[in-house]
Amino acid sequence: MRRSVLCAALLMFAMSAIGGCASSPQYFYNVDSAANLANYRTFGFFDEREPGMAAYQSVAHRHLKSAIVRELLARGYRRSEQPELLVNIHVQRRDQAPAAREGGGSDYYTYRGDHYAWRAGVPTVASDYSDGTLNIDVIDPASRALLWEGIAVGSVSQRMYESLEATIDSVVAKLFERFPKQSPSQAST
């Protein structure tokens, strides 16, 4: 049941980025200032490393992974079965802002479970979102720390169904504009 909701949310979010009358997505970023992403060379996907995380992959999820792989390869990172970085993808569709819990927190980030979190002192961006939110988290699996987070928030339109792959490519490319590139010497070592 949870996977079918995720698939529907992925599709709805993907459609939010290129709709004719729909507003463009808003992009937000969080970076752990103590992390030097240039020190990492390899990546993999969280759902491929954590048992039970990926029962199956929808078409939209495969497009998201493909776009992320393309962006990371273009930045000099290599895909590996023993990655130094893990990438986690989360999509959620809502028609309102996330409900705040006691203490001012939101339950939006519960998808991370007990797997990883920000280090102490690194703020989390919480934003109202109209219809769809995509999070791409980059994690150091050794320390279980979230190092980088790209967030796209946008509205949904019917036209987006027609160009799902192009929508995803566009949103992921925009998110990764703020992700560091490897220098040629780092990428080759």
Question: Residue type for 1, please?
Answer: M
**Contact criterion met (CB below 8 Å) for 159 and 19:** yes
Distance CA 127, CA 150 (A): 13
Q: Which residue has the tokens 């992959």?
A: 57
Expressed as residue numbers, the domain containing 138 is 2-188
Q: pLDDT at position 75, please?
A: 94
**What is the DSSP secondary structure assignment for residue 176, as one 8-state letter?**
G
What is this structure's pTM?
A: 0.69
Q: pLDDT at position 174, please?
A: 96
The domain spanning residue 65 has which CATH number? 3.30.160.670
Q: pLDDT at position 101, please?
A: 41
Residue 171 backbone phi and psi in degrees, to 5: -65, -45
Q: pLDDT at position 56, please?
A: 64
Question: Which three-class secondary structure state does DSSP give residue 148?
Answer: strand
Q: Which residues of the chain, if any, have pLDDT below 70?
A: 1-23, 50-56, 93-109, 114, 117-130, 156-161, 183-189
Q: Within 10 Å of residue 93's Cβ, how many Cβ atoms?
A: 20
For the chain, what is the domain count? 1
Q: pLDDT at position 76, please?
A: 94
pLDDT digits (tens, 9 = 90+) for 27-49: 999 999 888 998 999 999 988 77
